[in-house]
Amino acid sequence: MTTSHYIAGRWVEGQGSDCISVNDPALGQPFAELMAASVEQVDQAVAAARAALPAWKSTSASERAAYLRGFAEQLGQRREALITLQMRNNGKPRLEAEIDLDDAIATFGYYAELAEQLPAKNCDVPLAAPGFSARTRLEPVGVVGLIVPWNFPLVTSAWKLAPALAAGCTVVLKPSEVTPLIEQAYGQIADALGLPAGVLNIVNGKAETGAALSNHNGLDKLSFTGSNSVGSQVMRSASAQCRPVTLELGGKSAIVVFDDCDVDQAVEWIVAGISWNAGQMCSATSRLLVQDGIADALLPRLQAALENLRVGNPLTEEVDMGPLTSQAQWLKVASYFATAREEGLQCLAGGKALDREGWFVSPTLYADVPKDSRLWTEEIFGPVLCARRFATEEQAIAEANDSRFGLVATVCSADLERAERVADALEVGHVWINSVQAVFVETSWGGTKGSGIGRELGPWGLSGYQSVKHVTRCLG
């Protein structure tokens, strides 16, 4: 795996100083290695994107749409290999890996349709003043850097890559060093489709490579998904360049269960919100707010449901939840188990790493967690659920909003008028009502407060890669 970087339409060997070890988290063992890109190779990738920009942004909307549909078709043709790689490198159960791939395919198809509508978006602007005419142009923002995380590789990159290409931007993509292999499919597809050289570039590496890209003065925009600590560094580099940035960061999301809710349905929604991808989601609903009248019935059933989840190697077992994706994340989650013991939290389920090979932890439930507990306030990024009781709707809203994050929330209630009212009051970017976390490409994704800046998906995702230009002409 030495030729792991796709620059100016060619596969090249890494020339950086870091060796990236790619691991199977179910075994805790590496199965591939690759050399990181050097700072000079990042420069080459940005230069290639800059050189390709004039021709690419001049292509017709229908041409760009055809390439995007080609990406969708080619992803489908690689289906089994990509699903298996997700299972092996991320530890995802097969169903989750399949949904990820289908999400990526749908994203490219959706933005192909939006690309074809772009000419209609250049329109005349009526003016109150006589003697002038005005029109609006939507132009690509330029060369964009895309930095994507390890928890949803292929998917998060599709959410960025498809609208960027649809808008007419050229791209330098940096995958996570934890999961660097699956995004190489995009370079292979670019080759297969004959995508012009330099339109898509892929550089792999660790922090040095990411910093070289985010600090590069040849970018016109940077889009980053990841932790708040790294996101703040990305934002600082963007401010130094006065450059636009999209940040999709962390979350500490609430799921609010009212006492008129069906207990079994509530358990299903709660378990999905904390165990999907082993809880390694910025959108994980890791704060459970349960109304007094249903708490005594719900918590024991929730405890049993979490204890009955099948945890194991998705490549060899029928599982509901796989391992954590990296040893670093496994150690982090284990440290929160230790903190819970120090704080004397009431553990109803789990609360420990599993004694087996690989990076497995048990699905975990803590009850009556104080609001000042680190487990209630900090993003853990693992299958760790903290529960508190509430009495009134007003209290539920106040406690759900009492967070420095504002990404998503879920509301569970048979009273749909109340559920809609609570959804409107929650300070987040996306709310589900009586549902698992179904994410559709037509809707927006992004948060408020410390959960980021900007939106992805839907038409908002496309507009993030467009610049608005007005042309005003004197008619006299």
Strands 384-390 and 364-367: parallel
Residue keyed to tokens 């580099």? 237
Q: How is residue 269 written in tokens?
A: 């929604």
Secondary structure (3-state) at 148: coil
Q: Name the amino acid, one letter, at 7.
A: I
Judge whether 136 and 470 are in contact, CB under 8 Å. Answer: yes
* Cα–Cα nearest to 27, from 89, 78, 97: 89
Judge whether 147 and 225 are in contact, CB under 8 Å. Answer: yes
- 123 catalytic residue (yes or no): no
Q: Tell me the C-alpha distance between 182 and 217, whole Å.
A: 28
Which member of 248, 379, 399, 456 is catalytic?
A: 248
Helix, strand, coil percentages, rounded to 5, for the chain: 40, 20, 35
* Cα–Cα nearest to 180, from 383, 6, 397, 403: 6
Helix (H) or strand (E) segment spanning residue 58: helix 39-58
Secondary structure (3-state) at 176: coil
Helices (H) then strands (E): counts for the chain? 15, 21
Q: How is residue 436 written in tokens?
A: 């698992």
Which residues, 6 or more positions from 76, have their beta carbon under 8 angstroms from its beta carbon? Answer: 105
Q: Tell me the C-alpha distance between 211 and 219, whole Å.
A: 13
Judge whether 169 and 52 are in contact, CB under 8 Å. Answer: no
Judge whether 383 and 279 are in contact, CB under 8 Å. Answer: yes
Phi-psi label, residue 259: left if phi above 0, alpha if psi -120 to 50, beta otherwise: alpha
- 80 catalytic residue (yes or no): no
Q: How is residue 17 written in tokens?
A: 């100083």
Q: How is residue 287 written in tokens?
A: 């704060």
- Report the chain's terminal Cα–Cα distance, integer Å: 65
Which member of 282, 379, 412, 456 is catalytic?
A: 282
CB atoms inside a 10 Å sphere around CB 128: 5
List, by residue number, the catalytic residues: 248, 282
